[in-house]
Chains A and B, each alone.
Chain A
Amino acid sequence: MFLINCPFCGEREQSEFKAGGEAHIVRPKQPTELSDDQWAEYLFMRKNIKGIQFERWNHIHGCRKWFNMVRDTSNDEIKAVYKMGEKPPVK
């Protein structure tokens, strides 16, 4: 259990949030021209990093808004929180 500083609501318990997986995976601009390998890469393949990970979260039991987070997955320490559309902070 850890606390998450929602950019809209402030600090709340992690159980109020839903993790949305790896962030900054861009949907292919021309889906019809994608090969099966490229689709697999987009849909299924994940970095699954042990260390600093950029990820999406949703404050599902709060404002229900999506936002981004930088977290160290080896110890669950949150490094930064930023809104959707904003540039990720530099490491």
Chain B
Amino acid sequence: MKNKYSIFSLIKNAFSYHENWEKAWKDPEPKKEYDVVIIGGGGHGLATAYYLAKKHNMKNIAVVEKGWIGGGNTGRNTTIIRSNYLWDASAGLYDHALKIWEGLSQELNYNVMFSQRGVMNLAHNLQDVRDLKRRTHANRLNGIDAVYLNTEEVKKFCPIINTSPDIRYPVLGGTLQKRAGTARHDAVAWGYARGADEMGVDIIQNCEVKGIKRNGDAVEGIETTKGFIKTNKIGVVAAGHSSVIANMAGLKLPLESKPLQALVSEPVKPIIDTVVMSNAVHAYVSQSDKGELVIGAGTDDYVSYSQKGSHDIVEGTLNAILELYPIFSRMRMLRQWGGIVDICPDASPIISKTSIEGLYFNCGWGTGGFKATPGSGDLFAHTIANDEPHKLNAAFNLNRFVSGDLVDEHGAAAVAH
């Protein structure tokens, strides 16, 4: 049993200069065989392992990660959490996640710094206004908090926004989800890793998957840089590299992997206490607890695994940011980075069985997977443990690309994908 984090353990460890903290997770070598192997040690993968152990009483689980846990897209996103999606299936999925977020720090005994500071989405033209109003109504019908704001109310909620009618894309209104907000992305991976490790999950880092061994239509195990691991159930949560893993098993997925960029500014005093997103001009911004402005840019439109995007994408985003927030005109940007996101044709994720027995995929989260981390892990664990989807992720199956029953969230989900 791990030591519980509390004010008392903090004080106790202060006496030994914080040098004797127990390791949050072990660093084991892989065993020969596991009941389930999760490929990908990001937030979604670790959460999947955690819920497999916790809710489905599965033992003997491994998470294999080619780098270090949380070093992929979990550590590269802009940490925004919201559930104001248009379609019923999406609303169910993302609000399920949001409800888990609300109690996650307590559950994991790990402060994920979940902050319900609200997410505001701006409208810049008449079609935006209509779309946002429609989405507000749809959200309310699904029990998701949403309000529509006019220009004055937007200005009141976030005074630094330039609401002048004279700018190129004036602010005509916006929506607000107050339960939405941000969380500390690394802490989510670390918290789930610690929780999973405590229940006996082996978290194997620096272990890259090189092949998937099949026996007819069933999986037998994985070849890795640390040798062969036998298993009958493989859950793939490899984000941008999902197609690479699928290819190893002889599967094709409806995905394209593209660079998505984000950047942070130098730290400044608190200036923006919410998250503001703008679909039409593609600019979104929040402020981290360190004081950095966290800015999300768009994806490049070509397939790339290079983890760096084009300069003109960043330039376009910053143009929009400066028009909306003239106060930031002299801010300097500290860091810029890219992550590889796997995008589905309908901009909705896949949490699904495949045509191969024992092979499950959780992918296609595109540009917006972080917000779903706890829900995604929970539902994927359910799908793997029961060999059938939970009702909340039934719509997000791989077969929808054959049946045509797509969950089209392009543009409908409050931001462009």
Contacts and interface: CB of A to CB of B under 8 A. Distances in A.
Contacts of B342: 48
A1 B302 CA distance: 11
Contact of B303 (A1, A43, A55): A55
Contacts of B127: none
Contact of A15 (B253, B310, B401, B402): B310
B405 to A, nearest CB: 11
Given A1-B311, A50-B241, A76 B255 contact: no
A84 interface: no
B345 A1 contact: no
Interface string A54-80: 010000000000000001011110000
Query: Main secondary structure on chain A at its contact with chain B?
Result: mixed
B217 interface: no
A21 interface: yes
A57 to B, nearest CB: 8
Interface in A24-55: 36-37, 39-41, 43-50, 53, 55
A46 B256 contact: yes
Interface in B129-167: none
A4 B46 CA distance: 40
B211 to A, nearest CB: 15
Contacts of A21: 256, 303
A40 B345 CA distance: 11
B393 interface: no
B402 A37 contact: yes
Contacts of A37: 402
B312 A36 contact: no
Contact of A44 (B257, B305, B306, B401): B401
B301 interface: yes
B56 interface: no
Chain A contact residues (Cβ within 8 angstroms of B): what range? 20 to 34
B253 A40 contact: no
Interface in B249-281: 252-257
Contacts of B403: 36
B243 interface: yes
Of the four ranges (under 10, 10 to 19, 20 to 34, 35 or more), the interface on chain B belongs to: 20 to 34
Interface string B272-313: 000000000000000000000000000011111110001110
A41 B257 CA distance: 18
B244 interface: yes
B312 A18 contact: no
A28 B310 CA distance: 35
Contacts of B404: 36
A44 to B, nearest CB: 4
A44 B256 contact: no
A50 B305 contact: yes
Given A1-B312, A50-B244, A45 B401 contact: yes
A18 B302 CA distance: 8
Given A40-B401, A45-B401, A14 B310 contact: yes
B252 A73 contact: no
Nearest to B255: A48
B312 A15 contact: yes
Contacts of A48: 243, 253, 255-257, 303, 342
B402 A73 contact: no
Contact of A55 (B302, B312, B401): B302
Interface of B: 241, 243-244, 247, 252-257, 300-306, 310-312, 342, 345, 401-404
24 contacts: A1-B310, A21-B303, A36-B402, A36-B403, A37-B402, A40-B401, A40-B402, A43-B401, A45-B253, A45-B254, A46-B256, A48-B243, A48-B253, A50-B243, A50-B244, A53-B303, A55-B302, A55-B303, A71-B302, A73-B257, A73-B304, A74-B306, A75-B306, A76-B306
4 tightest A-B contacts by CB? A19-B302, A48-B243, A44-B254, A15-B312
Given A47-B252, A48-B243, 16 more contacts: A1-B312, A15-B310, A19-B301, A36-B404, A43-B345, A45-B401, A46-B243, A46-B253, A48-B256, A50-B243, A73-B257, A73-B303, A73-B304, A73-B305, A73-B306, A75-B306
